[in-house]
Amino acid sequence: MVLTMTKVEFPQNWIGKKRIQIKAENHAYIRSIWQAGDEKIHKIHESKSCVKNNITEIYEVALKEPKQNKETTRCLNGGFPDKYNSTCVCPPGFTGVACEMACGRNSYGQKCSKLCSGSGTECKRMILCTPSYGCTCSPGYQGDKCEEPCAEGTYGADCKQSCGHCKGGCDIYTGNCRQNCVSPYFVWPSCKEPFNYWKIPPVIIFSDFTSVKLGLNFSISNIVNSPSSVTQFYIVQYKEDADTFWSNSTIRIFSPTNIEYTVDNLKPGGQYLFRVLLLDKTLRTNDPKLSKTSEGPTKCSVTTLKNNITITKIRTNLIALSWDKVELVNSTECLPLSYILEVEVDDDFYGNRKIVNIKNNSFEIKNLTPGNNYLIRLKKLTVLGESRTVSQVRVSTETDIDYSTDVAGVVLKTVGSEYRIQWFRSPIYKTYYIKYKLIKLLACMYKEVQSSLEVISTTFTNYTLSLKPNALYQVFVTGDQNQAMHVNNQSVITNGKLPDISPSLVKQNFRITRDSAQIHWTNPPSMCAQINGIFDKYSIELLNMENTLLNTYETKDTKLEISGLTPKTTYKVRIRYENHIGSNHQLYSEDNFTTKGSSILTAQNLTAYKKTANMLGIRWMVSDTDSVTGINVKIQNHVLNRSMNISQLATRECKAWPSYEI
C-alpha cells in the first residue's frame, strides 16, 4: 500500500552519506520508502495534515468508459471494464470476476487476505490504492481523512455506490441488504441485479389438436445475464387466453442451445399463450413480466349445430333471449370463443346492428323501438373465424312503455374466501334481489354444470356471498323479483384453496413383485367440486410401517411404478392431490402392500414316497406358493445327472400326501 510520494531535491555534487527528513503527523509511521538510500531514516513530529486531497497522484488512474460497438463487461460495486473489455477493474475492498465479492469492514486485497487493523478502528482512516484503480477511502468511509461513515443508502469505496432494492437499507461496507429485497425477483444479498431472463419469445413450430411444439433458442446472446445469478433450470408456462392462472410444465435442466419443447394435454380449438421462466439452483425465477409471450391455437374441427333460440323476455325497448349451449360432437370439436347476434329491422336498414363478443349463451338486446319486428340471427365465433347462421328467430317488441329502472352502482369485492356485494340505494325499490348462478368449475372445464339461479332478498344495500372456490359465477342485483337474466351480469372467478378430496387407491389393480410395485388409483366423481383449484399433479409418499418417509414421487398419470424395494417387506403408500395452490397434507388416501419373497425358494419336507427299478416318486411343500413361477428338479448320482423344469403349476390333490389340502 502506498499513501504518498515525497520528492527530494539535492545538489548534483552532493556525495557521501545522506539523511532525509520526513514530516508526518502523530501516530503515522513509515513502512517503506522507494528508492531510498541506506543511511538512517527518521521522522520528525510536526503538524502536517495527511489527507486524501494532498496525496500525490502516484498511479494517475482515470475511470475508464467501455469502447463503443463492443459488448460491455458488466462490473458491480463501482468496478469498470479494463481496456480490453474482458475483465473488471475492482475498487479497493472488492474482488471477484465482476467485483461481486466484498471483503468486509476490516480486510482488503485480491483474496481479501489483508487485514486493515488489529485495533477497533478497523479500516477507518485508511486510504487504499491499487495500480489499476487508484486511491480511495476504504469501503464504508468518505471524506479527506476517510473517517466519515457512509450516509444511509450509500456504501463502498468513497461511499460512491447506492444501495440496491433493499428493505431496511444496506451494509455500508459490503452493500448487502440488511433484510430481504423489496421484490423476490432481485438477487440477494445486494438486491441490485434481477435474475437472468430470456429476452425473446418462444417460436411456435407446429400445432396439433392437443399439443404445440415450441422452438426455444437459449443462445447466450438471447439471455439477459446477471453476474450474481446462474441459470440451472427452465420451465415452460402456458395458459388459455382467457385464463387467469398459468400452468407449469415439467422443470428441465437449462442448456445454452436450441431446444424443441412440446406442450401436451391441451384442449382442441384453444388459443394459448406460452412463455419461459429461467430458474437458479434454488428454483428462484425471473420476474414473469420480463418474459416474452407467444400466442397460438391448437387445431380443431367445426360441425354446424342448429341451436334453438328461446325468447325469455320482451319489453318495449328490449328483447332477452337464450340459446342451447354447443354440444361437442367429438373430442376435437371447436368450442365457441363467443357468439354473434345480427339484428335486422323490417323496412329499416339503418336500424340493423351486429353484436359481437357475447361470452354467455344469453343476451338482452336493448335500445330497440317499441312495436317493431326484428329478425335475429345467431352465429358463433371459433378459432377458425365467424360461422354461418346456426339459428334465427322473428320477434316483435311490446308497444307499452316501461318506466322501471335498474339497480345501479353494483360493486363486488373479495373478502377472504367470500364476495361482498354493494350497490346504490334505489329511489324506487325497497327490496333488492341478489341473483347468482354457478357457470363453471374451473378444475373441470369440459364438464357442464347444471345449476339453478339462486336468489337472495334483502332490504340493505350490501350482502356477502359464500361461493364455491375456483369457480366461475354470474352475479347481478335487481329490484324485479321475476327477472331471470340481466344485461349487467358480472362474471366472478372465486379464489382457489387447498383440495378437500384425495384420489382413491385401487388395491385390486396393484402389481407387486419382490422388488417393485405398480400402484393404481382413480379420481372420485366429486373431484371437480372439491379439488378447489387447477389440477397440477398427484403427490405420492412411500413409508415403512413405522411411518418413516422413504421417498416421494410426483406424476400426472393415474399409476406409478416404484422400484428398488426390499423383498418380503410391508410398505405404506399415501397419495394426495396437488393444485395450483399446493396440497392438503392432512388429507390423503393410504393403503399397504407387501413385496414378494426371494426369487429362489427351497422346497420343504422333500420325501421319496415311491420307488421302483426305473421310477422315483417325490413330494415337497413350498410355503409361499403365490410367488412361485417355476420349479426345477435335479437328480444326480455317480452315473446320472438329470434336471427338469416344471412350469405348469396347477394345484391338485396328492394321494401320496393325505394331509395336503387344496
Q: What is the pLDDT of residues 277-292, one digit of tens each?
A: 999 988 899 999 999 9
Per-residue confidence (pLDDT) for residue 166, from 0 to 100: 94
Residue at 378 is within a domain: yes
Residue at 81 is within a domain: no
Q: Which residues of 42-60 are buried (b: 16+ CB within 10 A; e: fewer)?
A: eeeeeeeebebeebeeeee
Higher pLDDT, 601 or 120: 120
Looking at residues 509-530, what average pLDDT do you find?
89
- Which of 72-86, 210-224, 431-445 is predicted most confidently? 210-224
Q: Is the pLDDT of residue 47 over 80?
A: no
- Same domain, yes or no: 286 and 314: no
- Same domain, yes or no: 589 and 608: no
Per-residue confidence (pLDDT) for residue 45, from 0 to 100: 40
Residue at 157 is within a domain: no
Q: HEC profile for 81-99? A: ECCCCCCEECCCCEECCCC
Residue at 136 is within a domain: no
Residue at 517 is within a domain: yes
Single-letter code of the amino acid located at 487? V
Looking at residues 414-424, what average pLDDT do you find?
81
Residue at 90 is within a domain: no
Last residue within a domain, chosen from 458, 493, 528:
493
Per-residue confidence (pLDDT) for residue 245, from 0 to 100: 93
Higher pLDDT, 425 or 416: 425
Q: Which of 143-157, 537-551, 575-589, 591-605 has the lowest mean pLDDT?
A: 591-605
- Same domain, yes or no: 486 and 464: yes
Q: Is the pLDDT of residue 70 over 60?
A: no
Residues contacting residue 613 through CB under 8 Å, at least 6 positions apart: none
User: What is each CA distance from 176 to 109, 138, 156, in whole angstroms?
Assistant: 19, 16, 10
Q: Which of 174-188, 204-218, 624-638 has the lowest mean pLDDT?
A: 624-638
Reported as a pLDDT band with limits 50, 70 and 90, residue 26 is low
- Same domain, yes or no: 588 and 522: yes
Reported as a pLDDT band with limits 50, 70 and 90, residue 641 is confident
Task: Give the integer Cα–Cα distance in Å for 266 and 212.
Answer: 8
- Same domain, yes or no: 208 and 290: yes
Pairing of strands 362-365, 373-382: unpaired
DSSP string, 257-299: SEEEEEE-SPPTT-EEEEEEEEE-TT--B--GGGS--EEEEPP
Residue at 158 is within a domain: no
CATH number of the domain within which 286 lies: 2.60.40.10
* Cell representation of residue 210: 392437443
* Cell representation of residue 376: 335475429
Per-residue confidence (pLDDT) for residue 317, from 0 to 100: 82
* Cell representation of residue 628: 412361485
Q: Is the pLDDT of residue 1 over 50?
A: no
Residue at 191 is within a domain: no
Higher pLDDT, 123 or 614: 123
- Same domain, yes or no: 477 and 426: yes
Residues contacting residue 151 through CB under 8 Å, at least 6 positions apart: 159
Contact predicate 392/340, CB 8 Å: no
Per-residue confidence (pLDDT) for residue 22, from 0 to 100: 59
* Cell representation of residue 455: 336468489
Q: Which phi and psi angles does 200 have, rounded to 5°?
A: -120, 160
Higher pLDDT, 633 or 600: 633
Per-residue confidence (pLDDT) for residue 248, from 0 to 100: 94
Q: Is the pLDDT of residue 540 over 90?
A: yes
Per-residue confidence (pLDDT) for residue 247, from 0 to 100: 94
Per-residue confidence (pLDDT) for residue 25, from 0 to 100: 55
- Same domain, yes or no: 239 and 287: yes
Per-residue confidence (pLDDT) for residue 347, from 0 to 100: 65
- Same domain, yes or no: 425 and 479: yes
- Which of 179-193, 344-358, 467-481 is predicted most confidently? 179-193
How far is residue 280 CA from its own chain's centroid?
12
Helix, strand or coil, per DSSP, at residue 320: strand
Tell me the pLDDT of the chain averaged across its residues.
Answer: 81
Contact predicate 382/336, CB 8 Å: yes
Biggest alpha carbon–alpha carbon distance for the chain: 134
Looking at residues 480-490, what average pLDDT do you find?
71
Last residue within a domain, chosen from 250, 274, 297:
297
Q: Is the pLDDT of residue 609 over 50?
A: yes
Q: Which phi and psi angles does 527 have, rounded to 5°?
A: -55, -45
Task: Give the integer Cα–Cα distance in Å for 267 and 256.
Answer: 31
- Same domain, yes or no: 211 and 293: yes
Q: Which of 225-239, 441-455, 559-573, 626-640 has the lowest mean pLDDT?
A: 626-640
Per-residue confidence (pLDDT) for residue 449, from 0 to 100: 77
Looking at residues 174-198, what average pLDDT do you find?
91
Q: Is the pLDDT of residue 653 over 70?
A: no
Structural domain of residue 378, as residue ranges?
309-396
Reported as a pLDDT band with limits 50, 70 and 90, residue 307 is low
Q: Computed over its alpha carbons, how large is the radius of gyration of the chain? A: 41
Task: Give the integer Cα–Cα distance in Å for 261 and 274.
Answer: 11
- Domains of the chain: total: 5
Q: Is the pLDDT of residue 662 over 50?
A: no
- Same domain, yes or no: 585 and 627: no
Last residue within a domain, chosen from 474, 493, 512:
493
* Cell representation of residue 193: 441485479
Helix, strand or coil, per DSSP, at residue 167: coil
Helix, strand or coil, per DSSP, at residue 443: helix
Q: Is the pLDDT of residue 545 over 80?
A: yes
